């Protein structure tokens, strides 16, 4: 897959997530959050009003620190595709 194709698929996966109206499970949201931030090269600190949520987000980001941007995009795409394929 070329870089351009990867970017298109990643953007489509992000659109699917943003268009989804039902709640995602908390663990899935954290994984999507971490891989999205890594894939988009966004290193801003978590900004929730609740410190515990910021702690979970920070931990999720820490867990993906050694993943490249392209790997993060692929993993994000796979997470989204699997979620929509297997959700009930």
What is the C-alpha separation between 29 and 19, in angstroms, rounded? 14
Question: What's the mean pLDDT in 56-63?
Answer: 93
Q: Domains in the chain, start-ordered, CATH in brackets? A: 3-19+26-86 (1.20.80.10)
- Res 71: pLDDT: 98
Handedness of CA 24, 26, 30, 33 (dihedral sign): positive
* Spatial separation of the C-alpha atoms in residues 44 and 35, rounded to whole Å: 14
- Using one digit for the tens of pLDDT, what is the confidence trace for 48-57? 889 999 899 9
């Amino acid at each position: 897959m070329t870089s351009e194709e990867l970017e298109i698929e990643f953007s489509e996966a992000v659109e699917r997530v943003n268009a989804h109206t039902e709640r995602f499970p908390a663990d899935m949201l954290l994984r999507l959050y971490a891989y999205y931030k890594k894939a988009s090269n966004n290193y801003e600190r978590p900004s929730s009003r609740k410190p515990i949520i910021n702690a979970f987000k920070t931990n999720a980001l820490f867990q993906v620190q050694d993943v490249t941007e392209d790997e993060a995009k692929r993993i994000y795409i796979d997470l989204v595709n699997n979620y929509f394929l297997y959700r009930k």
